[in-house]
Amino acid sequence: MSSQAAIESKKACAHCGLPVPKRRMLQDPAFCCHGCETVYQVLQNEGLNETYYRLREASSSRSLRLPARTKLNEPLLDELDSDVFAESHSVPLDGGVHRTHLYLDGVHCAACVWLIERMPQEISGVRSAYLNLPRARLTLEWDPSKAKLSSIARWLARFGYGVESRVDGEEAPETREERRLLIKMGISWALAGNIMLIAFALYSGLDSETPGLFKAARWTSFALAIPSLLVGGSVFFSRAFQSVRSAYHVRSFKQLHMDTPISLGILVGFIASAWATFTGTGDVWFDSISVLIAALLSARWLQLRARRLAGNSTEQLLALIPSIARREDELGGITKVRTEDLQVDDVVVVRPGELIPADGSILSGSALINAAILTGESKPERKEIGDKVFAGTTSESEVLRIRVHAIGVHSHVGKLLSWVSEDRSERPVILSWVNQVGGWFTAASLTLALLTAGIWWVIDAQSIVPHVISLLVITCPCALGMATPLALAVGMGRAARNGIFIKSEAVLEWLTKVNVVVLDKTGTVTEGQMAVEQTELIDASRSVNDIMLKAASLESQSIHPISQAFLQWADGQQVDEPVDVSYEPGHGISGQVAGQFIRVGSPDWIGIDEDCFESERHFAAYKAALAAGQTVVVVEIDGRAAAWVSLSDPLRKNAASLVSNMQQKGLKVILCSGDHQSTTSKTGKALGLSEADCLGRFTPHMKKDLIAKLIGEGNVVAMIGDGVNDSAALQTAHVGIAVTDGTSASRQAADAFTTRSGLEAIAELFQESGKVMRVIFRNLYFSLGYNAFGATLAIMGLVTPIVAAIAMPVSSLWVVISSITQRTFVPKS
């Protein structure tokens, strides 16, 4: 082949950047394979090529081959469009839209994120697409009537992104990056071992006894170091090169990756050793370089593996559900089946000590149930016939027969998993700060390397290379990069095991900055178990029993605590089925009952004044109930007020201590309720709040506006609530916290959710978040101090390259141990 052809054969692929093989030169010299050619043409045809390749080049973290054409899995495509998949793995939203999560193969960098998240503009029927890059998890909202999931998967495959068969609740398999690093690590250690054997011979005096063998040993080490450099070192070189290019383009040291000083150290050592080999003078460091590469690859592989396992922490909730269940047939026979094969209304048998496989109700038996997985409380609770039990909890005493209500992702623990797994794009501020510091720290390491070279040029020029290598390696900010995300991940995992579920890492940081807390009243600081205290007629022509039964009929369609009070009053009496029911959050409920239009709600919504009462005495009784701090609702029948009902709702036993604790920490606490002002004020007084901080007659919209106003004044606001009428406020606040027994709407809007009864979990969340942040700062201070100390020793010439390679991962190991052993969210005995 001519020299010109040889040069052309090294041409880089226009898509992935890899060299074009010789066999492709006669077909299309621009691409290394047919897959790259296909994807490149698709991007060009769709008009997406310019931005995609610009983002790809700007990505400093890219270390994998870019996606090429993906082979379609036809059985999987059929499964995506099946009714079984729709029922099991998608959630219906408003307007016929569904949401699901898909795991993708082949996503690597910012270009992949940009391309995939353009899907709503490219496919009709797709409302939104959000890609969580670290988990390769696509959150998709689409209209099945306009776009099939199989069509979406085919669109993704055109660009090289394959849809995996894994779904939420399954552990992520080993990634291609892990497998690639593992192979490179094995090769690097094999090469390093052989080079070290040669080095032992050299260190034993081989040069003085047999000069010929000495020279041969050096050349053999050089030959073995080349594949070590190309195979193992390429991992660091590619990222370093990309980060240097990115830093040059944006003119900022912040873009420098931690692999930059490592790569420079390896190259300096290799070039100096190669020069010594060719000239026959000076020392060689092939053994140090090869061991350094192998050790760094091992540390990198362990970090990747730890990150994957940490990413699976929430999915492991579903792993606690047993894979096998005992199903009872119609004749009473018992058959072992897979848990996923259970159906609603099946009957399962659970023996003492076994995990309950599905949500359901007890048909026969009575047992102590340990629900620590859901509540964090280790003390078991006795459950009787008719009581509900949940998947993943343990029967500790007797045999139970359970009627299945929900399985897998539709179970209580499955819904918790879906809630926790919802993607939030917000990143902790401290994590962004650490990333910026990492860039500057890398630049500082390079500056110190030049300083070290200058110092040792004067002292001993022969020692420049090992000391510079030692400095560049020991100052690698790996621990600095691990300090924050690892501590946050462990803290969130510990909180989940203690009955506190946190949706975003940023929540832990925001909680340490909160200075205003807005509390809902009913169901949050009160028990939420209302009881009817007094019923007084406004329309004397009607009977109390008739009015209350009609109100109870209407309230049977709601889960609000007030509704439960009416149903408790009815105490099993026959009620009519309401129609055309409408719920007005913060106001009340309306509908048709037995041909009459009924409204039950707040006095302001109904429109009660003194003229509605037959006498001043009746009005005075009504005012007295309000003044006593009781919750008062009015029942209206066919446009006329019929009666008013007062309800009591006792404070939670620890509500006052929670408020007192917050105030002692300097937090401003505001009680905000849709109840009458006098009722809200009385509750606030019992909590130790001033009149000015008790806000009554607040609609959901007013609560939201209050939060927005407080934020606009520069406050960091936390909202604690439990009902549908709190959802907008929970979403508006910096941190929204939904208490146990809250509605699904409030949990959906919240950033944190407790499954333990009472408010102790709320107090614990505030307190332990501060502890997690202290662990983070402890890790950061140690990492910076350790690197500074190591740099000092390296500049002084007290550290060799091998010692530096061993010492560098020590700081990462300390950070891992510090994060894993943190004493946060410790379960209460």
Given a cut of 80, whether residue 620 has pLDDT beyond it is: yes
Given a cut of 80, whether residue 805 has pLDDT beyond it is: no
Given a cut of 80, whether residue 425 has pLDDT beyond it is: no
Residue 373 pLDDT grade (very low, low, confident, very high; cuts 50, 70, 90): low
* % residues pLDDT > 90 (the chain): 16
Three-class SS of 489-519: HHHHHHHHHCCEEECCHHHHHHHCCCCEEEE
The pLDDT value given to residue 42:
59
pLDDT one-digit tens code per residue, 530-568? 888 888 888 888 888 889 999 999 988 887 778 888 888
Which residues of the chain are in CATH 3.40.50.1000 domains?
A: 500-527+652-755
Which residues of the chain are in CATH 3.40.1110.10 domains?
A: 531-648
Residue 174 parent element (H or E): none
Q: How far apart are CA 108 and CA 68, in angstroms?
A: 12
The pLDDT value given to residue 647:
86
Residue 413 and residue 391 in contact, taking contact as beta carbons nearer than 8 Å: yes
What type of residue is 428?
P
Q: What is the mean pLDDT of residues 755-781?
A: 88
The SS3 of residue 103 is strand
The pLDDT value given to residue 61:
37
Q: What is the mean pLDDT of residues 450-474?
A: 86
Q: How far apart are CA 232 and CA 234, in angstroms?
A: 6
Which residues of the chain are in CATH 2.70.150.10 domains?
A: 324-354+358-406
The pLDDT value given to residue 314:
47
Q: Is 354 exposed, middle or buried (CB count within 10 Å of its CB: 0-12, 13-18, 19+)?
A: middle
Given a cut of 80, whether residue 758 has pLDDT beyond it is: no
The pLDDT value given to residue 701:
80
pLDDT one-digit tens code per residue, 695-729? 988 877 888 899 999 999 999 999 998 765 677 78
Residue 692 pLDDT grade (very low, low, confident, very high; cuts 50, 70, 90): very high
pLDDT one-digit tens code per residue, 569-591? 888 787 888 988 888 877 889 99
The pLDDT value given to residue 109:
53
Given a cut of 50, whether residue 632 has pLDDT beyond it is: yes
Q: Which residue has better confidence, 195 or 162?
A: 195
Highest mean pLDDT among 116-125, 199-208, 384-393: 384-393
- The mean of the pLDDT values for the chain is 77
Given a cut of 70, whether residue 166 has pLDDT beyond it is: no
Domain range 500-527+652-755, CATH class:
alpha beta
Q: How far apart are CA 230 and CA 136, in angstroms?
A: 28
pLDDT one-digit tens code per residue, 482-497? 667 778 878 887 888 7
Q: What is the mean pLDDT of residues 237-260?
A: 70
Q: What is the mean pLDDT of residues 720-745?
A: 75
Residue 777 parent element (H or E): helix 760-795
Given a cut of 90, whether residue 323 has pLDDT beyond it is: no
Dmax over Cα atoms in the chain, in whole Å? 121
Q: How far apart are CA 768 and CA 512, in angstroms?
A: 10
The pLDDT value given to residue 150:
85
Q: What is the mean pLDDT of residues 489-512?
A: 83
| Beta partners for residue 582, in sequence order | 590
Q: Which residue has better confidence, 690 or 283?
A: 690
The pLDDT value given to residue 68:
40
The SS3 of residue 600 is strand
Q: Which residue has better confidence, 108 or 348?
A: 348
Q: What is the mean pLDDT of residues 741-768?
A: 76
Q: Which tokens hold the place of 283?
A: 């020392």
pLDDT one-digit tens code per residue, 120-151? 888 888 988 877 665 677 888 889 888 888 88
Q: How far is CA 812 from CA 104, 295, 299, 309, 388, in A?
A: 30, 13, 9, 17, 46
Given a cut of 70, whether residue 780 has pLDDT beyond it is: yes
Q: How far apart are CA 90 and CA 79, in angstroms?
A: 13
The pLDDT value given to residue 671:
94
Given a cut of 70, whether residue 817 has pLDDT beyond it is: yes
Q: What is the mean pLDDT of residues 649-658?
A: 86
Q: Shortest CA distance to 800 belongs to which of 467, 387, 462? A: 467
Helices then strands, each counted (H, E), the chain: 32, 27
Q: What is the mean pLDDT of residues 395-421?
A: 76
- Beta-strand relationship, 137-142 and 98-105: antiparallel
Residue 21 pLDDT grade (very low, low, confident, very high; cuts 50, 70, 90): low
Q: What is the mean pLDDT of residues 672-698?
A: 88
Residue 420 pLDDT grade (very low, low, confident, very high; cuts 50, 70, 90): low
Fold adopted by 324-354+358-406: 2.70.150
Q: Which residue has better confidence, 165 or 659?
A: 659
| Length of the chain as a residue count | 829
> Which one-letter DSSP state was computed for residue 644?
E
Q: Which residue has better confidence, 186 or 354?
A: 186
pLDDT one-digit tens code per residue, 76-92? 677 777 776 776 677 78
Q: What is the mean pLDDT of residues 97-119?
A: 72
pLDDT one-digit tens code per residue, 461-472? 878 888 887 887
Residue 65 pLDDT grade (very low, low, confident, very high; cuts 50, 70, 90): very low
Q: How far apart are CA 763 and CA 493, in angstroms?
A: 18
The pLDDT value given to residue 746:
54
Q: Which residue has better confidence, 159 or 498?
A: 498
Q: How far is CA 298 from CA 184, 187, 688, in A?
A: 9, 11, 57
Q: What is the mean pLDDT of residues 299-307?
A: 63
* % residues pLDDT > 70 (the chain): 73
The pLDDT value given to residue 171:
47
Given a cut of 60, whether residue 765 has pLDDT beyond it is: yes
Q: Which tokens hold the place of 23?
A: 């066999």
Q: Which tokens hold the place of 756?
A: 């333990």
The pLDDT value given to residue 36:
62
Residue 327 parent element (H or E): strand 324-328
Residue 14 pLDDT grade (very low, low, confident, very high; cuts 50, 70, 90): low
The pLDDT value given to residue 720:
92
Q: What is the CATH number of domain 531-648?
A: 3.40.1110.10
Q: How far apart are CA 575 and CA 301, in angstroms?
A: 65
Residue 330 pLDDT grade (very low, low, confident, very high; cuts 50, 70, 90): confident
Q: Which residue has better confidence, 613 or 58?
A: 613
The pLDDT value given to residue 664:
92
pLDDT one-digit tens code per residue, 274-302? 988 898 877 787 887 887 788 778 766 76
28: CB partners within 8 A, 6+ apart: 37
Q: What is the mean pLDDT of residues 232-254?
A: 73
Q: Which residue has better confidence, 172 or 332?
A: 332
Q: Which of 49-63, 332-346, 578-592 has the lowest mean pLDDT?
A: 49-63
Q: How far apart are CA 362 and CA 360, in angstroms?
A: 7
